């Protein structure tokens, strides 16, 4: 099996991954994924596509991720891994699609408007 290169996005995070057959090593920006994503929830998010297709420990993943926060980066990486698994084996597609790993979550932070404190929050009203 050759290396498969895919991309995943979430909020402002962009994740590029290289998937190859191996022993299950996942490195994110040169670090082990457990060091880069210290919370268990983020580690579970990263492994969800493998768990869905019963491929935990069967692939090595090299991840380059930038932009956004850790949660957005984890979900962007999850999408990239799911896309790579579909490219590897098209039979994985229905299971991954059902879980929603192949759908780009298009929700972005709404911009701040002038005359407002945030995007929709108004300034505190003062009667006098």
pLDDT of residue 1: 66
pLDDT of residue 57: 84
pTM: 0.91
Q: What backbone phi and psi angles, to 5 degrees, belong to 4? A: -110, 130
Q: How confident is the model at residue 55 (pLDDT cuts 50, 70, 90)?
A: confident
* % of residues, the chain, pLDDT over 70: 99
pLDDT tens digits, 58-100: 899 999 999 999 999 999 999 999 999 999 999 999 999 999 9
- First CA to last CA distance, the chain: 72
Strands 4-10 and 59-66: unpaired
């Amino acid at each position: 099996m050759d290396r498969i290169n895919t991309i995943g996005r979430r909020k402002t995070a962009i994740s590029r991954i290289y998937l190859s057959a191996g022993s299950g090593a996942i490195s994110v920006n040169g670090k082990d994924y457990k060091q880069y994503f210290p919370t268990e929830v983020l580690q579970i998010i990263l492994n969800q596509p493998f768990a869905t297709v019963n491929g935990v420990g069967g692939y090595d993943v090299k991840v380059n991720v930038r932009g956004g926060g850790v949660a957005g980066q984890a979900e962007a990486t999850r999408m990239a891994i799911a896309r790579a698994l579909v490219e590897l084996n098209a039979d994985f597609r229905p299971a991954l699609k059902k879980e929603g790993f192949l759908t780009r979550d298009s929700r972005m932070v709404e911009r701040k408007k002038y005359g407002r404190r945030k995007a929709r929050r108004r300034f505190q009203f003062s009667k006098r």
